[in-house]
Amino acid sequence: MNNNLPNIFIGSDHAGVEQKETVKTFLESLGYTVTDFGPFSNDSVDYPDYAHKVASAVLEKPNTLGILLCGSGNGVCLTANKHAGIRAALCWLPELGALARQHNNANILCLPARYINNTTATEIVSAYLNASFEGGRHEKRVEKIDL
């Protein structure tokens, strides 16, 4: 475990459970500590249950990030963003993953499991984690997100 790496909380719905396992394995291979909130099978579940768990955990623990997956990525993204202080971003390209951190200081990455393959998912995760918030002109915009 590398103490300089943020802990990662991860969750999905049934449509994202298989890709979640790929992403989790990828993260662990890089030395990240990953807490998986489930689900652990592809039996039908309600995505808000898992998105709320991940968002709450990210808010409660400093130096953490979240990753959420569902079929389109929209459901988990909408749910996570209901939490004040969460900036969840739906990304389907590596460039968007990087920009989510650089410009929006996103603390949760949302992936559309039915629309990207596992290779793309890990490329997006890598771009997201390797980027950092640029601040500057983006700082005042990010500060305006929470009401």
What stretch of H or E contains 22?
A: helix 17-29
Q: Is the pLDDT of residue 147 over 80?
A: no
Which range has the worst mean pLDDT, 3-7, 11-15, 132-136? 3-7
- 14 is annotated as an active-site residue: no
Please report the domains of the chain, with CATH numbers, ordered by start residue. 7-143 (3.40.1400.10)
With b meaning 16 or more CB within 10 Å and e meaning fewer, what string describes 39-77?
beeeeebebbebbbbbbbbbeeeeebbbbbbbbbbebbb
pLDDT tens-digit series, residues 50-106: 999 999 999 999 999 999 999 999 999 999 999 999 999 999 999 999 999 999 999
* Catalytic residue selected from 14, 52, 70, 83: 70
Q: What percent of the chain has a predicted confidence (pLDDT) above 90?
A: 92
Please give the model's pTM, rounded to 2 decimal places: 0.96
Catalytic: 77?
Answer: no
Q: What is the pLDDT of residues 118-136, one digit of tens each?
A: 999 999 999 999 999 988 9
Residue 4 is predicted with a pLDDT of 84
Mean pLDDT of 28-51: 97
Tell me: pLDDT of 2 over 60: no
Assess whether pLDDT exceeds 80 at residue 1: no
pLDDT of residue 57: 98
**14, 77, 83, 103: which one is catalytic?**
103
Contacts of 44 (CB under 8 A, 6+ apart): 14
**Confidence bin at 8 (pLDDT 50/70/90):** very high
Whether residue 112 is preceded by a cis peptide bond, meaning omega within 30 degrees of 0, is no
Instruction: Indicate whether 47 pLDDT > 60.
Output: yes
